[in-house]
């Protein structure tokens, strides 16, 4: 069988996964070794506190892996997006596989299906499980897609393959990518997703690896890529404006009836409603201003790498 001549990079996120790393490598490496002439593995150590890297080194030595293996050690735990940005910047492949986690609920040949789809003219191809999603994930994607400033819609992804052209396009947008999935979807290049039947329909729900830091990432994504906060603020401003108008109408109508409310109640409530309207109206303006300022932050590099170690088989 003739092997593909394109150089492939596998960027793998690692954080306290010593019990999973061998299984992941057993599934992924044979596919790469059998179908690609050359490939490299870029393992991003995001502050591992267990024996993940030790197990990785022992596996590479035991299996006599001849591919280039680089371990990128982050200076401290910096989270998925920052760590994967570092791995992406170090990878040199024509095409780059991104594994945000090493949980495998797919058949290994899914890697080839994604690669073959990319060769049809796409620059970003993702693999997505048809299995169940957590309720929180469903809510996040629904709100995100409803309030996104861009046309592209995002969804759950297991891993993705990105062309060098797409990576260069992303780098031209900004050095720091706060949420790669959203940027890839809206970078202007052709992208698609391939769905697969998970070996366990409940796998993504039960998997604990992918739950870390998701809440913080979700909040960051809403701020960076959607106008959800602006809409919420505008809606609250409208509500309090409506309350203020109603209170004004009530005050005027009070002059024409004999029912007298508690003294000072109407003026106090009117003042509070008008005050809240002013606060949320101002907040809407501030959030709009901050969305512009965030574009400037986009261009700053936001990760720190301690060192890069090459693992060489003896």
185-215 residue pLDDT tens:
878 889 999 999 887 554 454 455 444 455 5
**Mean per-residue pLDDT for 17-30?**
93
- Quote the CA–CA distance of 110 and 32 in Å, as a whole number: 12
Would you state the pLDDT for residue 177?
66
Contacts 24+ apart (CB under 8 A), 165-168: 165/123, 165/189, 166/123, 166/124, 167/88, 167/96
How many alpha carbons lie under 13 Å from residue 236 in its C-beta half-sphere? 16
Q: Would you say the C-alpha torsion 222, 145, 237, 281 has a positive or negative sign?
A: positive
On the question of pLDDT at 95 being above 80, the answer is yes
Q: Quick one: which of 178, 185, 186, 8 has its CA closest to 85? A: 178
**Mean per-residue pLDDT for 177-183?**
78
- Identify which has the larger pLDDT, 155 or 25: 25
9 strand-pairing partners: 40, 96
Q: What totals of helices (H) and strands (E) does the chain contain, helices first?
A: 11, 8
Would you state the pLDDT for residue 288?
59
Length of the chain: 314
**Mean per-residue pLDDT for 61-76?**
92
CATH label, 8-226+299-311, candidates 3.90.550.10, 3.30.70.260, 3.30.70.1150, 3.40.50.12780: 3.90.550.10
> In degrees rounded to 5, what are phi and psi of residue 162?
-125, 135
Task: Report the range out of 89-103, 223-237, 277-291 with the highest average pLDDT.
Answer: 89-103
On the question of pLDDT at 32 being above 90, the answer is yes
**Mean per-residue pLDDT for 129-138?**
78
Lowest mean pLDDT among 131-135, 270-274, 297-301: 297-301
- Quote the CA–CA distance of 310 and 108 in Å, as a whole number: 26
In angstroms, the Cα distances linking 253 to 155, 260, 265, 266 are 52, 11, 15, 12
CB distance 301 to 175 below 8 Å: yes
| pTM for the full predicted model | 0.74
CB distance 280 to 309 below 8 Å: no
Would you state the pLDDT for residue 206?
47
How many alpha carbons lie under 13 Å from residue 78 in its C-beta half-sphere? 24
- Quote the CA–CA distance of 128 and 147 in Å, as a whole number: 22
**Mean per-residue pLDDT for 24-50?**
94
Lowest mean pLDDT among 23-37, 156-170, 222-236: 222-236
**Mean per-residue pLDDT for 271-298?**
63
CB distance 140 to 219 below 8 Å: no
Angle between helices 135-147 and 228-254 in degrees, nearest 10: 80
Average pLDDT of every residue of the chain: 80
- Quote the CA–CA distance of 275 and 296 in Å, as a whole number: 32
Would you state the pLDDT for residue 243?
72
- Quote the CA–CA distance of 21 and 261 in Å, as a whole number: 71
**Mean per-residue pLDDT for 300-310?**
72
**Mean per-residue pLDDT for 132-157?**
77
DSSP state of 53: H
CB distance 219 to 111 below 8 Å: no
């Amino acid at each position: 069988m003739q092997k593909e001549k394109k150089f492939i990079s596998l960027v793998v996120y690692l954080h306290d996964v010593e019990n999973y790393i061998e299984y992941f490598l057993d599934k992924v490496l044979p596919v790469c070794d059998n179908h690609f002439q050359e490939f490299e593995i870029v393992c991003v150590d995001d502050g591992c506190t267990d024996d993940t890297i030790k197990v990785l080194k022992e596996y590479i030595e035991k299996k006599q892996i001849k591919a280039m293996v680089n371990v990128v050690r982050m200076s401290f735990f910096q989270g998925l997006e920052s760590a994967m940005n570092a791995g992406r910047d170090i990878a040199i492949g024509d095409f780059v596989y991104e594994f945000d986690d090493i949980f495998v609920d797919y058949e290994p040949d899914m890697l080839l299906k994604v690669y073959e789809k990319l060769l049809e003219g796409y620059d970003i191809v993702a693999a997505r499980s048809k299995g169940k999603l957590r309720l929180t994930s469903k809510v996040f994607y629904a709100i995100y897609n409803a309030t996104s400033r861009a046309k592209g819609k995002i969804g759950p992804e297991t891993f993705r393959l990105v062309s060098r052209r797409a990576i260069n396009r992303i780098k031209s947008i900004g050095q720091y990518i706060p949420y790669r999935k959203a940027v890839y979807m809206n970078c202007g290049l052709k992208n698609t997703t391939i769905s697969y039947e998970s070996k366990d329909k409940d796998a993504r729900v039960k998997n604990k690896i992918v739950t870390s830091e998701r809440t913080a990432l979700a909040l960051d994504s809403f701020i960076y890529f959607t106008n959800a906060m602006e809409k919420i603020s505008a809606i609250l401003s409208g509500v309090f404006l409506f309350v203020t108008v109603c209170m004004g109408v009530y005050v005027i109508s009070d002059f024409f009836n004999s029912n007298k409310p508690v003294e000072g109640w109407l003026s106090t409530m009117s003042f509070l409603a008008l005050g809240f309207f002013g606060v949320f109206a101002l907040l809407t303006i501030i959030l709009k201003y901050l969305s512009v300022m965030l574009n400037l932050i986009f261009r700053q590099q936001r990760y720190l790498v301690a060192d890069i170690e090459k693992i060489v088989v003896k």
